[in-house]
A and B are shown apart, each in its own frame.
Chain A
């Protein structure tokens, strides 16, 4: 259901990260755990594993986000070797760079409730920080029109609309999402481009703020957005037109 690419799906990994050099990418694919079927080569052998979603999000590291995974030999028996390699990869993160938060879904196994509580607690105790006064809702629900399930994202994990946009793209990878990066914000500022965006058949990210109003994502500075966003909904462009007047109003006020 690819409806016109408004935004390139990042092949090299989204926002915050660590070197996706060729060598690491390859090594990473090879370190996927393989079933060594006794007797070698079972029925499952030849099949292309279609795990687009798992591959991109449920992955051990954010070193590579290659969604395609073509015909990997299931009889790969270097499992202990692989595990070691994987371990090396995990520790190969350049300590000089800010640590990439390992994006393994559900690991470590800590309840989201606890994660949220500790996140808010640590923000309050670091009262020296000039930003981030007040509660930040970390996990927000994300729904997409037409997708059969909700996801949750932790807004605290991103520092810009661009990163969020990447993450959303990965999550709902067969849909396309309107650009809400800085270029996208510029688009919103431009009334006619905004109308183009909304008239297209692309998807537009919207959010519900603290007052219960639905707004277009990208309207306000990132920090403000994180503080006021209660939930996200990725709407079809045509449906989001109802929100356009608000966005257009705001643009007019700004310019």
Chain B
């Protein structure tokens, strides 16, 4: 034991090494933050032993300060643009650049091993620098990012000798056609996870097969559209140990030799628990995968536009152990009935619109949701794009499923009332928040008055994120939420009649939150200026898309888009011209 050799503080009976060891077991970010607040000694030990950091807003702190605070950093999660950027509400070049982070970490002695990014602008330059600066780099996960090409991926492949994970989800990547995959050196045998489903271009198939062949630890493989059926079959033979598979093109003649070979190969892959892809699909080839369906826990058919409702339901019949299902609305209400009667373990359901351009025509209604709620009592996470919703249905759902953590409803016509009663959907959503005491995330749609916000403020005590569009009548609505939802971290509002009174009533509230987004509301420039002046710990940004300059704009004028967030480092230096930092 080390009793004699270490300085100890009165209340602190354990030497540092022991405390460090104890802290190793504390993995949640929240808990580690709490630990660091206990006393100076704990702060110091926690500081040096902290390896994983999560920054929900990359502008809340600077790279330099982060590195100084946690010199032992190995794993970093960064999020950049506000959520509504996903829906084209934030102009390009707003910000969220990765490069400064890589540059700073490269300069210091940070031994970065894992990087996970969401909605950030990632340049090839930053990927190249990343690949050259961190010899132990193991894992890169990019979600909804942009700004890079396959050249940047080539650098990662070529230089990260111990790469385990390259996971690209829904990124906009400029594809310079396939050679990047060939850049994995022959000595690279460490891959565990490879996901390039979002790439649009050709892939060097021979390189891919060789790579998979020399990766005995490969557990997750998600292919892009350019990988054909025969290659899939050969890959499966090489990697029967896969746990997660995303197919590329899944089209072939079911009477062919290749199809039979695939059938055989799949049957050998009895570890597969997660299936996705089918970006191009011939329905007649689906039976080949039935054998693995019974063990699936996650099925993502949300890009399989080639599958009709009857094919989907035939497939679902085999998936009794499903816990998460992502699907297109062409499954229809009846198809959701099949889900309800088959997938008793279902926890998460996402139903996407198969035609996201035509706001008139979703193929599911409140009926499908009610059926699922009746059949799947474990349901706790929902994203549901539908044609219409009724209060009665929501009330029934609330009664059947009290465990919702995430409830996101999107009625394609954003202000549609209950079609049966012609009433707003206040009561329905009210029932959801009353019944689901653990609700953390909520997205509303449909015709809604201030009343729904009254309910949310009253009952949604654990709510952390709320998305509102085209709802409410007055400032009261927003105030109910700000006053009642004590755990609120992210609030995003578009096209609602909330204005200055609501914005300025409790300015201190925003320091307890990560961010607030308000666009096309009734908030004036003057109010934003007042807020910015009174709260130096907040950055209040105005995105101005008209041609006017700051000098021409009257304080009484309403702002198009306002985004505010708490920060330790004041105004960011990389804001473009059209973003005004008040």
Residues of A within 8 A of B (CB): 1, 33-38, 42-44, 47, 49-54, 58, 60, 79-80, 83-84, 86-87, 90, 93, 99, 101-102, 104-115, 117-119, 121-122, 124-125, 135, 141, 147-152, 154, 156-157, 174
Contacts A49-B558, A118-B303; is A110 near B415 (CB within 8 Å)? no
A55 (CB) vs chain B CBs: closest residue: B520
Q: Report the separation of the CA atoms of residues A86 and B385 in the bound assembly, to the nearest whole angstrom.
A: 21
Beyond A33-B470, A108-B359, A150-B91, 20 additional pairs, beta carbon < 8 A: A33-B497, A36-B497, A37-B499, A37-B501, A38-B474, A42-B500, A44-B558, A58-B520, A79-B497, A80-B449, A83-B417, A93-B360, A99-B358, A101-B359, A104-B414, A106-B494, A108-B410, A114-B302, A117-B303, A121-B303
Q: Report the separation of the CA atoms of residues A117 and B19 in the bound assembly, to the nearest whole angstrom.
A: 50
Q: Which of A37, A101, A135 contacts B200 (CB 8 A)?
A: A135
B360 (CB) vs chain A CBs: closest residue: A99
Inter-chain contact count A-B, CB under 8 Å? 175
A230 (CB) vs chain B CBs: closest residue: B174
From B93, B306, B415, residue with most partner A Cβ within 10 Å: B415
Contacts A44-B524, A52-B546, A110-B352; is A149 near B170 (CB within 8 Å)? no
CB atoms of B520 and A54 under 8 A apart: yes
CB atoms of A54 and B356 under 8 A apart: no
Q: Within 8 Å of chain A (Cβ to Cβ): is B117?
A: no
Q: Within 8 Å of chain A (Cβ to Cβ): is B354?
A: yes
What is the CB-to-nearest-CB distance from A195 to chain B, in angstroms, rounded to a whole number?
29
CB atoms of B89 and A106 under 8 A apart: yes
CB atoms of B305 and A125 under 8 A apart: yes
CB atoms of A110 and B87 under 8 A apart: yes
Total residues of chain B contacting the partner, CB 8 A: 71
CB atoms of B474 and A37 under 8 A apart: yes
CB atoms of B171 and A113 under 8 A apart: yes
Query: Would you list which residues of chain B between 400 and 430 have a CB under 8 Å from chain A?
Result: 410, 412-417, 422
What is the CB-to-nearest-CB distance from B471 to chain A, in angstroms, rounded to a whole number?
9
Q: Within 8 Å of chain A (Cβ to Cβ): is B151?
A: no
CB atoms of B88 and A152 under 8 A apart: yes
Q: Within 8 Å of chain A (Cβ to Cβ): is B512?
A: no
Q: Within 8 Å of chain A (Cβ to Cβ): is B473?
A: yes
Q: Within 8 Å of chain A (Cβ to Cβ): is B496?
A: yes
Q: Which of B172, B305, B497 contacts A113 (CB 8 A)?
A: B172
CB atoms of B545 and A149 under 8 A apart: yes
Contacts A38-B475, A121-B305; is A150 near B93 (CB within 8 Å)? yes
Q: Which of B305, B524, B554, B557 contacts A122 (CB 8 A)?
A: B305
Residues of B within 8 A of A (CB): 84, 86-89, 91-93, 144, 170-172, 198, 200, 279-280, 302-303, 305-306, 352-360, 385, 410, 412-417, 422, 443, 447, 449, 467, 469-470, 473-476, 494-501, 520, 522, 524, 545-548, 554, 556-558, 560, 576-578
Contacts A50-B557, A106-B88, A108-B385; is A34 near B93 (CB within 8 Å)? no
Q: Which residues of B have CB within 8 Å of A122?
A: 305, 355
Q: Which of A1, A47, A135, A151 contacts B547 (CB 8 A)?
A: A1
Q: Which of B412, B474, B500, B556 contacts A36 (CB 8 A)?
A: B474
What is the CB-to-nearest-CB distance from B398 to chain A, in angstroms, rounded to a whole number?
23
Q: Report the separation of the CA atoms of residues A87 and B412 in the bound assembly, to the nearest whole angstrom.
A: 12
Q: Report the separation of the CA atoms of residues A250 and B449 in the bound assembly, to the nearest whole angstrom.
A: 59
Q: Which residues of B have CB within 8 Å of A99?
A: 358, 360
What is the CB-to-nearest-CB distance from B518 to chain A, in angstroms, rounded to a whole number?
13
Q: Which residues of B have CB within 8 Å of A125?
A: 280, 305-306
Could you list 11 A-B pairs, sorted by A, with CB under 8 Å? A33-B495, A35-B475, A44-B500, A79-B473, A87-B415, A108-B353, A111-B170, A112-B88, A149-B93, A152-B88, A157-B357
Q: Report the separation of the CA atoms of residues A86 and B355 in the bound assembly, to the nearest whole angstrom.
A: 23
Q: Report the separation of the CA atoms of residues A93 and B576 in the bound assembly, to the nearest whole angstrom.
A: 40
Q: Which residues of B have CB within 8 Å of A141?
A: 92
Q: Report the separation of the CA atoms of residues A101 and B360 in the bound assembly, to the nearest whole angstrom.
A: 8
From A33, A60, A151, A152, residue with most partner B Cβ within 10 Å: A33
CB atoms of A90 and B413 under 8 A apart: yes
Q: Which residues of B have CB within 8 Å of A80?
A: 449, 473
A147 (CB) vs chain B CBs: closest residue: B547
Contacts A113-B170, A121-B303, A149-B92; is A104 near B359 (CB within 8 Å)? yes
Q: Report the separation of the CA atoms of residues A102 and B357 in the bound assembly, to the nearest whole angstrom.
A: 8
CB atoms of B554 and A174 under 8 A apart: no
CB atoms of A109 and B279 under 8 A apart: no
CB atoms of B280 and A115 under 8 A apart: no
What is the CB-to-nearest-CB distance from A149 to chain B, in angstroms, rounded to a whole number?
4
Q: Report the separation of the CA atoms of residues A154 and B358 in the bound assembly, to the nearest whole angstrom.
A: 13
Q: Report the separation of the CA atoms of residues A60 and B494 in the bound assembly, to the nearest whole angstrom.
A: 12
Q: Report the separation of the CA atoms of residues A36 and B414 in the bound assembly, to the nearest whole angstrom.
A: 21
Q: Which residues of A have CB within 8 Å of B501?
A: 37-38, 42
What is the CB-to-nearest-CB distance from A104 to chain B, in angstroms, rounded to a whole number?
7
Q: Report the separation of the CA atoms of residues A207 and B286 in the bound assembly, to the nearest whole angstrom.
A: 41
Q: Report the separation of the CA atoms of residues A52 and B548 in the bound assembly, to the nearest whole angstrom.
A: 11
Q: Report the separation of the CA atoms of residues A87 and B89 in the bound assembly, to the nearest whole angstrom.
A: 23
Q: Which residues of B have CB within 8 Å of A110?
A: 87, 352-353, 356, 385
What 6 A-B pairs come out closest when comparing CB atoms? Answer: A106-B87, A149-B91, A148-B578, A150-B92, A121-B305, A35-B522
Q: Report the separation of the CA atoms of residues A105 and B150 in the bound assembly, to the nearest whole angstrom.
A: 30
CB atoms of A51 and B306 under 8 A apart: no
Q: Which residues of A have CB within 8 Å of B354?
A: 118
What is the CB-to-nearest-CB distance from A198 to chain B, in angstroms, rounded to a whole number?
24
